[in-house]
Amino acid sequence: MTWKRTMTGLLWISPWLIGFACFTVLPLVLGVWYSMTDWTLLEAPVAVGMEHYTRMLHDEVVHAATRNTLVYIVITIPLLTVVSIALAMLLSRPARFIAFWRVAVFAPSVLPLVALATIFKLMYDGELGVINRGLEATGLRGPGWFTDETWAMVAIILMNLWVVGPAMVIYLASLRDVPRDLHEAASIDGVGWWGRLVHVTLPMISPVILFNVIIGLVNAAQVFVVPYIMTGGGPNRATYFWSMYVYDAAFRYGDMGYASALGVVQFLAILLLTIGLLLIGRRFVFYRGAVS
């Protein structure tokens, strides 16, 4: 009877299992195989062992892409987390036209990244862009967003604040699930708003924070469209990220074997970072109903 129930369950989920095997497991296995071959798409793959992985250790482009990606992750994730939580708390309060403001914050997230990157590229233009024009109107001289190494990275990071909507909506829903009794009890004990935020609100929404941080990590580690369109890598590869090198190695230089190796390393790095966050979450994330 148990065997029949197991087979029935597997039959019901077989479409997903087939899709997972064909579009996730198989490409991953082939990627690992091609990473150990010399393949240009025009000829049959030739096995080269671990040559591509050894080559990465001495590749200056890999070093630059790794540094830029890590800087982007370290700055972007905390910044997006703080901004999205702050917006969620602000928009959780009753106010006039609150529905409009919620939609206004979320709406930019539904636009294609290509369109957003193109719009912001025009806005960041050093001579005709509205950002520098606005700074000049206040007596400030706008920076060369795409000609200065530091400002090129800042431009990309600031642009990502425009798509903070999805995380904000998730936090907004989680804030409604925080018991009001806890806030009332803390207020009676004389705890101020900052104390209630740190000791009540944040612990109660900590599982959602962990979820959004992991999603942000995965997205940040694979950032491609925005820097590729806005800066093309920036001056001296200041905004050249890992995914851009994977793309260039595969489709610009025709080195599919090396591109596959880069993709495998990227996958392993994201996996290890995600596992690290989950392990940290065991100590700092509070799950209601969990038995300690």
**pLDDT tens, position by position, 268-278:** 999 999 999 99
pLDDT at residue 136 tops 90? no
Residue-level pLDDT at 291? 46
What average pLDDT is seen over the chain? 89
Residues 101/94, Cβ–Cβ less than 8 Å: no
- From 37, 69, 71, 58, select the one nearest 269 (Cα to Cα): 69
Q: Which residues, 6+ apart, have CB-to-CB distance to 124 below 8 Å?
A: 131, 132, 145, 146, 155, 230
pLDDT at residue 234 tops 50? yes
In the chain, DSSP finds a helix count (H) and a strand count (E) of 17, 2
| pLDDT, average across residues 128-152 | 86
| pLDDT, average across residues 137-156 | 86
How far apart are alpha carbons 83 and 94 in whole angstroms? 19
pLDDT at residue 292 tops 70? no
pTM exceeds 0.75 for this model:
yes
Give me the CATH topology for the region 61-284: MetI-like fold (1.10.3720)
Based on its alpha-carbon atoms, the radius of gyration of the chain, rounded to whole angstroms, reads 24
Residues 116/163, Cβ–Cβ less than 8 Å: yes
**pLDDT tens, position by position, 173-220:** 999 888 888 888 888 888 888 888 888 889 899 999 999 999 999 999
